[in-house]
Structure formats: C-alpha cells, structure tokens
Amino acid sequence: MSQNLSEQEIIRREKLKSLQTAGIDAYPAALYPVSNFSTEIKQSFSEEKKEDFANVCVAGRVMSINDKGKVFFIKIQDSKGIIQLYVKRDEICPEEDKSFWNLVVKGLDLGDFIGVTGFVFITRTGETSIHTQTLTLLSKSLKPLPVVKRDEEGHVFDAVSDPEFRYRQRYADLVINPDVKDTFVKRTKIINTIREFLNGNGALEVDTPVLQAIPGGAAARPFTTHHNALDVPFYLRIANELYLKRLIVGGFDWVYEFSRNFRNEGMDRTHNPEFTVLEWYTAYKDYFWMMETTEQLFEKLALAVHGSTELQVGEKTISFKAPFKRISILNAIKENTGIDVSEKDEAGLREVCKQLKIDVPPNIGKGKLIDEIFGETSESKYIQPTFIIDYPVEMSPLTKKHREKEGLVERFELMINGKEIANAYSELNDPIDQRERFEEQAKLMERGDDEAMFIDQDFLRALEYGMPPTSGIGIGIDRLVMLLTNQQSIQDVLLFPQMRPEKMD
C-alpha cells in the first residue's frame, strides 16, 4: 500500500537516509541510562545544591528548537514535564569534524527523542536548564506533531481540541495536550485508592470470565461471538455479578473485581460499549450497610484526588461529606413531576409517559417504564450525592424484596451530578423467588425486549446450595473518573474509546 506523504514527511525521511548513509543509527537498541527527570531537576535545583546536579542524564521528546547558529536551545518533554537544554556546537563536537552537529543536532525535528548528559544551571533569563555535554539521537520522528501554541512559561493556550483526532490518535493527544495525561494519572490513583480501601477492609480481589455461555447479571444487549473448539455461541460479559455471587456461595465473605464489561448498545457522552465497573459482594450485610460503606469510600476518594471533600464540577460545588441524601425512586418521580406512579399498572404508566411526552417502545414492561420516567424527569435533578432507594420489584430481578414495603426491593442507585454512579442491592438469595424472576424476564424476552435477562440455570443451582444474606454494588469507574476529573465525556477518560474504523490511505 502506497503512502501519501506530506512535504514535511518527505523531508524527514530524507534526513533519516542521510543519517543511515553516515552510519548513524536513528533507532539504537542499547539501554539509555536515564537518571533524572525534568520536574525533579526544576523543583530541587539551587545554586547551593549544584554539586548534586553536576552530572545528570535525561531523555525525552523534542518539543521546541531555538537555533542560534553555534548554540541551540532545545526543550524536551519527558514523562514528568518539560526542561530546556543548552547545546553548544564546540562542546558537542570539539574536533574539526562537525558532521554530527550538522546531521544530528541541526537535523533534529520536533518529535524526535534524544538523550543528553550534562550539568544543571540557571540561564540569565532565570530558566533552569541543562548545559549539554553529550547528545544521543534515540528515535527519529517521521510524522510531524500537530502544532500547539505555548506561552513563555510553557503553558498551552491553543490546544488541539478536535475529538476525532484526539480519540483516534490518543498517542499524539497525550504528547501535545499535557492535561490529558494528568486525567489518566488520576484515573490510576482513583483505582488504587479503591483497592487500598477494599483490601484494608478484608476484601479479596478476584477474576471471573469475560467469555460467558450466558450473559447474566444485568439487563443489556450482549456482543455475541463463537467458540470454535466447543462449537457453541459465547457472549462477552455484560456484568460479572452472578460469578461473584457464586463465590459468596462457595464461602468467601467479601470479593471484588474491576470488571471490563461489554454492551452492544448506543454510544454517547456517558456510554461506551466497552467500560469498566467495580463490583463487590459482602456476606451478612444489607443495602443499609452498603450505603454507609459507599459514603466512606467516596469521601476517601475525594480527599485522595483533591485533598478536600468538596469538588468543583463546572460551576457546581459537590460535597462528598457523609451522610448523603436518601429518597425512594417513586417519591423522586413524584417530587419532580407531581405524579404518583406507585399504584399504576403498565397501562397507567404508558399514559403517564404519554402525558410527559416520553417515547417508549411497546415491548417493555412496568419496570422499564418506571425507569424511563425517572430517567427523563428526575435523574438530572440530583446534583449532590443522593441515594435513590426502594425500587419496584419489576425493575430489579436480582434484588431481595423489601422487608417492609410490598412490591418494592432493597436497592439503591447513587446519583451525583445528575448521573448514576453506583447501583446496589440487598441480594436476592431465595432460589425459588429468583427462578420466578428469571421466568418473568424470559416472558419479556419473548415480547421482544432484547435487554431482558437470560435464565442462568447454573446460578440457580448455586443458590439452591444456599447463599448467606449478601449485599452487592456496582460502581461505574469511567463515570466516577469523569466526575472526579471534571470531564464532560466518557471518551475523555478512556485511553482508546471505540470509534468507527478509519479509512487508511
């Protein structure tokens, strides 16, 4: 396949050929002994400590070049930040032969990787820099980076913002938009904080299957594949819930998993077909305990990422200080619409949808209708952390019936900034009741609801051995990261979000 090269790309390839002709390896394989990083040097260097920085070795990508003839000022970006290099021809090439200077230094392009050794000093303009004594070309860049404008202090004021480019070429986005990298560093910090919290409370991290014979644990449309060796259809998991509950049956008291899930559904600012969910299940607990534990975790996360229980999201200030508000889903609908749907049957709920101008498909049942009404009229109203509790039984086929309120189950969803962040139950552990709930789901599937749950006979068998009272929760990690990093789109917290395949030249 031929490439349509730009003028810049052609020039860079010609430079590469010149290096190769001169016997200079533009992609050397030898280890390069990096011993220092940009931020460490700039934060720690002083005239009093200059002896500690008399022999540094750094490496990074060339981000700017200021050619002064026999002196170059080059800024390189390493994994921590940007630092300036002072490169003088007669020190890099003291002999008569200046070919290295002409081919390598003068031939440098933005995006090239170089390594340097030297000593640290402060220029007359007050910038901490490295007086370069040796320079090594580590990798030649053949494709120019998009131009990003920076001020004299290196702050970006004209970033590349085209989402098509940023999401499709995330590797370049990370280089030219420094805040992007910070988002993903915070994502890892969030996950590590959750692990520390759970491990510190005695939970056990486990792995469960991604390929499943039955896509259970949620109401969603699965991706289908085929297992050649067994010659049967398999599904990418939509949830890991039923496997984690099997482990509670098997005798574990508290298990958790960061689960990569797949749902063959729409894509928008808060949905991606591949996403990450944290689920944990704890024996001998209920949803009241789970609400308190969730409050503790979210308060800890806010402190870990921001050093405060208050978080600024756009123009809103959100407080993660416990306790959080609690309101039933039926009261939430009544609070926001003035309509009491608690006693309405399917036909009545369809009338409510018509009255509220909510379009709903004809093949969904009572539970999905209530879910649609809440989603369209109420969900966005809950900015401060709020537990929406006590859902109708039709909405929650895996949840224990409410101990006091007929027709409801012990379930909550945590809403923050108008979005669902977590979903939790007192888990249904009655195998007969569970079988009946699955059979109701099967009837919905026959009506054409392609998100209704399959009947998982093996899970029912596990329940028949006996599962202790258990509480479980699922937390959408991607939405949680969006919230804690103040991002408006799920694609901004996924390193490589799904996109339509690109037509390559």
- List, as residue ranges, the binding site: 413, 420
CB neighbours of 228 closer than 8 A, spacing ≥ 6? Answer: none
Going 231 to 232 to 233 to 234, the CA torsion angle's sign is negative
10 Å Cβ neighbour count for 361?
11
- CB-count exposure of residue 409 (10 Å: 0-12, 13-18, 19+): buried
Binding site per annotation, positions for Mg(2+): 413, 420
The rounded distance, in Å, linking the Cα atoms of 125 and 73 is: 13
Instruction: Identify which of 286, 281, 199, 291 has the alpha carbon closest to the alpha carbon of residue 462.
Output: 281
3-state secondary structure string across 464-496: HHCCCCEEEEEEEHHHHHHHHHCCCCHHHHCCC
Kind and range of the H or E element at 347? helix 346-355
Going 448 to 450 to 451 to 455, the CA torsion angle's sign is positive
Collapse the DSSP code of 276 into the 3-class scheme (helix H, G, I; strand E, B; otherwise coil) and give the result: strand
Q: Where are the alpha helices (DSSP H) in 169-314?
A: 170-176, 178-200, 241-249, 287-306
CB neighbours of 300 closer than 8 A, spacing ≥ 6? Answer: 193, 197
- List 114's β-bridge partners, or say none: 60, 137
3-state secondary structure string across 238-275: CCCHHHHHHHHHCCCCEEEEEEEEECCCCCECCECCEE
The rounded distance, in Å, linking the Cα atoms of 316 and 380 is: 13
Please report where in the chains the tokens 């940007």 appear, as a residue: 82
Distances (CA, A) of 279 to 244, 262, 322, 386: 8, 15, 21, 19
